[in-house]
Amino acid sequence: MTDEYKKGSLSLTSTVAMGTGVMIGAGIFALTGQVAELAGTWFPLAFVIGAIISAFSAYSYIKVSSAYPSSGGVAMILHKAYGSTTITGAAALLMTFSMIINESLVARTFGSYSAKALNIDSGSLWVPVFAVGLVVFAFGVNMAGNKVIGAISKLTSVLKVGGILGFALITLWATDLTIDLNAGSDTSTTSLSGFVAAVALAILAYKGFTTITNSGDEIADPKRNIGRAIVISLLICLVIYLAVSVAVLLSLSIESIVQSKDYALAEAARPVMGQAGVWFTVIIAIIATTSGLLASMFAVSRMLAMLTRMNLIPHRHFGMPGTVQNHTLVYTMVAAGLLAAFFDLSRIASLGAIFYLLMDIVIHWGVLRHLASEVNAHKGILATAIILDVVVLLVFLTIKGTSDPSIIVIAAVGIGIIILLEFIFLRKMRGEQGITSPHSHG
């Protein structure tokens, strides 16, 4: 990349492709089994509720980003609301880490589907190898620049949306559209709290819309197109998630979905389309996860570059040539690759949901308290977004506190470390007179 930012380089179509690329790559392939495990036969409804809550959340992002479009939009929103404070840096980093976690989840999903295509056991070391390989490939494409990303995103979005909808329509047509709510599972064990926890993961499947705000003034006519791109992306993903989740539920029992949660759609294709259907779904999954990772790395690297420019995080070049944007791409690749190679991503997905929901609450509160009048935002909608996020987060924490309490401890420790390090860094920055940027060429 020769320039750090290229204003107006992303068209509305490319922006929608980028947003849906992240959401569909992470959502329907990576999270279907986990959502079904918590919500039972009602898991398609969890995706609908997740879309509604995400629409309320998107309101804050649309209002502020349309008024003040800039690359690294989430960081900009926090800075507008809270200034150069610890809460701005910490919340932005929570968002960044949740996105990197999401990248790892998508990469592992790519690894799982690739392994299935080659009849390799899901526990094989080839799964993380494939996952890391995808991360490296996505890094290379991002280094090539916005035009390459936009072109690939457009192509892969058409292929994946068409393929996923084709899978859904064929499955729905081949069945009598009758769902046996008692097939393969005891629905009495699906509690309200379990359903709400499933909604928390479904929200994670939609959070890719924030990649659009992070691209900001790189989008053509951002004051109009940021909001339009987010709304279009959410609607496209809702239609796809609902169609596919119903198709999967018609094809498999909940028990079978959970057992094959790493490649649930491929298994759902088998009863209807046989082995050819499995291959077809695997190919679409590989395309979807690839485009999802490309778009996510694009957004994360720009957000980190923006945080660096705002003097909210330190940055070292480590002797690397090129711009800050190039370096943040390298850091993103390394972090996502390590997570994809070594960590249990079902648990890390839970950590990502906690980080994201907490950051989302901070965003809405900041807009409500400090920016609502300035950006002409309705306070009732902002308050509703906060309430919905708080309810979902508390229920999710309660469920995880019972089933996996260590993840709560890990989340609390991680948040504490982020806040402490951010506080120390900003205090040091304020104490160093004459230094305007935390860059170092060490």
pLDDT in tens, 352-411: 889 999 999 999 999 999 999 999 999 999 999 999 999 999 999 999 888 889 989 989
pLDDT over 70 percentage in the chain: 84
Average pLDDT over residues 136-143: 84
Report pTM. 0.82
Rg over alpha carbons for the chain, rounded to the nearest Å, is: 21
What pLDDT shows up at residue 68? 81
CA distance 281 to 283: 5
Mark residue 318 as left, alpha or beta (left: phi above 0; alpha: psi -120 to 50; beta: remaining): left
Lowest-confidence pick of 39-43, 184-188, 250-254, 345-349: 184-188
What pLDDT shows up at residue 320? 67
pLDDT in tens, 283-320: 888 888 887 787 778 777 777 877 787 778 776 665 56
Alpha carbon 245 to chain centroid distance?
18
Residue 237: which residues within 8 A CB-CB, separation 6 or more? Answer: 20, 23, 24, 27, 51, 205, 206, 208
CA distance 173 to 226: 36
pLDDT in tens, 28-85: 777 888 888 888 889 999 999 999 999 999 999 889 888 887 655 778 888 889 988 8
- Would the CA dihedral through 354, 357, 363, 366 be positive or negative? negative
All domains of the chain in start order, with CATH: 12-430 (1.20.1740.10)
What pLDDT shows up at residue 383? 97
What pLDDT shows up at residue 326? 73
CA distance 2 to 145: 8
